[in-house]
Amino acid sequence: MTTHRFQAFGPRGVLAPAPVHSFWPRAALTGLILLAFGGLSACGKAVAPKELKSARDAFVAAKAGPPAELAPAQLEEGRQALDRAEESFEKNKDKPETVDLAYVALRQIELAQSAAATEAARRDQVAAERDVDLLEKKFQEATEARLDKTEAQLAKERSTAERTAAELEKERKAREDVEKKLSAALMSLEKIAQVKEEARGVVITLSGSVLFASGKSELLPIAQSKLDDVAKAVKDQGYKKIIVEGHTDNIGTESNNIALSQRRAEAVRSYLITRGIESAKTTAIGIGESRPVADNSTAEGRANNRRVELVVTPES
Most confident of 9-13, 43-47, 68-72: 68-72
Domain count within the chain: 3
Is the pLDDT confidence value at 77 over 90? yes
Considering the domain architecture, whether residues 164 and 244 belong to the same structural domain is answered as: no
Q: Which of 130, 155, 190 is the last residue of a domain?
A: 190
Considering the domain architecture, whether residues 104 and 152 belong to the same structural domain is answered as: yes
Considering the domain architecture, whether residues 65 and 151 belong to the same structural domain is answered as: yes
Mean pLDDT of 123-147: 85
Contact at 8 Å (CB) between 101 and 56?
A: no
Structural domain including 125 reads 48-190
For residue 183, the one-letter residue type is: S
Considering the domain architecture, whether residues 63 and 86 belong to the same structural domain is answered as: yes
Contact at 8 Å (CB) between 207 and 303?
A: yes
pLDDT in tens, 138-190: 878 876 777 677 788 867 888 888 888 888 898 887 666 544 543 443 343 34
Mean pLDDT of 272-293: 95
Contact at 8 Å (CB) between 271 and 224?
A: yes
Summary mean pLDDT of the chain: 81
Considering the domain architecture, whether residues 287 and 210 belong to the same structural domain is answered as: yes
Domain CATH for 218 = 3.30.1330.60
Please give the C-alpha separations between residue 129 and each of 125, 134, 175, 178, 212, in angstroms, as whole numbers: 6, 9, 7, 11, 42
Give strand pairing partners of 308.
Answer: 206, 246
Looking at residue 37, what is its pLDDT? Answer: 41
d(CA 142, CA 40): 83
Considering the domain architecture, whether residues 155 and 278 belong to the same structural domain is answered as: no
Helix, strand, coil share of the chain (percent; to 5): 65, 15, 20
Please give the C-alpha separations between residue 271 and each of 39, 158, 239, in angstroms, as whole numbers: 52, 66, 17
Considering the domain architecture, whether residues 72 and 92 belong to the same structural domain is answered as: yes
Q: Which of 170, 190, 210 is the last residue of a domain?
A: 190
Looking at residue 61, what is its pLDDT? Answer: 95
Looking at residue 153, what is its pLDDT? Answer: 81
Give strand pairing partners of 7.
Answer: 16
Contact at 8 Å (CB) between 262 and 284?
A: yes
d(CA 189, CA 243): 25
82 sits in the region (left: phi over 0; alpha: psi -120 to 50; else beta) called: alpha
Looking at residue 215, what is its pLDDT? Answer: 85
Contact at 8 Å (CB) between 279 and 273?
A: yes
pLDDT band at 46 (very low <50, low <70, confident <90, very high): confident
Considering the domain architecture, whether residues 307 and 214 belong to the same structural domain is answered as: yes
pLDDT in tens, 54-63: 999 999 999 9
Is the pLDDT confidence value at 5 over 90? no
Considering the domain architecture, whether residues 186 and 247 belong to the same structural domain is answered as: no
Considering the domain architecture, whether residues 133 and 266 belong to the same structural domain is answered as: no
Q: For residue 230, give every residue at least 6 positions away whose Cβ sits within 8 Å of its Cβ, in sequence order, or none.
A: 193, 204, 206, 272, 310
Looking at residue 155, what is its pLDDT? Answer: 73
pLDDT in tens, 96-110: 999 999 899 999 999
**% of the chain with per-residue pLDDT over 90:** 49
Per DSSP, the chain holds a count of helices (H) and strands (E) of 10, 7
Q: Got the DSSP string for 92-121?
A: HTTSHHHHHHHHHHHHHHHHHHHHHHHHHH
Looking at residue 180, what is its pLDDT? Answer: 52
Considering the domain architecture, whether residues 223 and 128 belong to the same structural domain is answered as: no
Considering the domain architecture, whether residues 54 and 171 belong to the same structural domain is answered as: yes
